[in-house]
């Protein structure tokens, strides 16, 4: 996709413009919306990125990476309840994604659902996420009186 090259060369705005045009020209280009969202995130335009990721998930409800990025946007905005919903969709679309399981565990932790957080962290650990063990330890210390 042409939008990747300018972005790789540090021409983020050119990549954003190109990917935006590609998405408008052919709305079925799920990856165009996904990459547009990624470059918008790089440009610190989170709300615009969320719109691009939402478009990708409308076109492909199983686009796990877009669900994951939406969850991260909401988690960073301190909206963990909404993030849980996005991370659950990411894990449903890609149950083997260690990153999606890990992020789901964090969102559950931040909502106070510690049992669910532990379950998701265990899945992330089983799938090989490098930080899952530390998260499990912090969850265990929270559960102690």
How far is 137 from 90, CA to CA, in rounded Å?
24
In angstroms and rounded to an integer, the radius of gyration of the C-alpha atoms of the chain is 17
1-60 and 62-145 agree in CATH topology: yes
How far is 96 from 76, CA to CA, in rounded Å?
23
Q: What tokens does 41 get?
A: 């995130």
Q: Residue 1's pLDDT band (boundaries 50, 70, 90)?
A: very low
We find that the CATH architecture of domain 62-145 is Alpha Horseshoe (1.25)
Q: Residue 30's pLDDT band (boundaries 50, 70, 90)?
A: confident
Mean pLDDT, residues 57-71 taken together = 95
Q: Which residues contact 78 (CB under 8 A, 6 or more apart)?
A: none
Q: What is the pLDDT of residues 74-130, one digit of tens each?
A: 999 999 999 999 999 999 999 999 999 999 999 999 999 999 999 999 999 999 999
pTM score over 0.85: no
In the chain, the N- to C-terminal Cα span, in Å, equals: 54
Q: Give the CATH number of domain 1-60; options: 3.30.1490.20, 1.25.40.10, 3.40.50.720, 3.30.70.100.
A: 1.25.40.10
- The pLDDT value given to residue 102: 98
Q: Which residues contact 103 (CB under 8 A, 6 or more apart)?
A: 68, 71, 72, 75, 83, 87, 90
41 within 8 A of 72, measured Cβ to Cβ: no
20 within 8 A of 36, measured Cβ to Cβ: yes
Average pLDDT taken over every residue of the chain: 87
- The pLDDT value given to residue 6: 45
Predicted confidence (pLDDT) at residue 72 exceeds the cutoff of 80:
yes
User: For the chain, which residues make up each domain, given as ranges?
Assistant: 1-60, 62-145
């Amino acid at each position: 996709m042409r939008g990747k090259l300018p972005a790789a060369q540090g021409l983020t705005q050119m990549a954003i413009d190109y990917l935006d045009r590609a998405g408008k020209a052919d709305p079925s280009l799920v990856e165009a919306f996904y990459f547009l969202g990624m470059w918008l995130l790089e440009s610190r335009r989170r709300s615009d990125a969320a719109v691009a990721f939402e478009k990708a998930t409308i076109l492909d409800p199983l686009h796990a990476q877009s669900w994951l990025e939406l969850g991260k946007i909401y988690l960073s905005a301190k909206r963990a309840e909404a993030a849980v919903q996005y991370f659950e969709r990411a894990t449903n679309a890609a149950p083997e994604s260690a990153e999606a399981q890990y992020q789901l565990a964090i969102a559950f932790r931040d909502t106070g659902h510690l049992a669910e957080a532990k379950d998701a962290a265990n899945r992330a650990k089983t799938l090989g996420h490098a930080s899952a063990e530390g998260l499990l330890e912090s969850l265990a210390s929270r559960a102690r009186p």
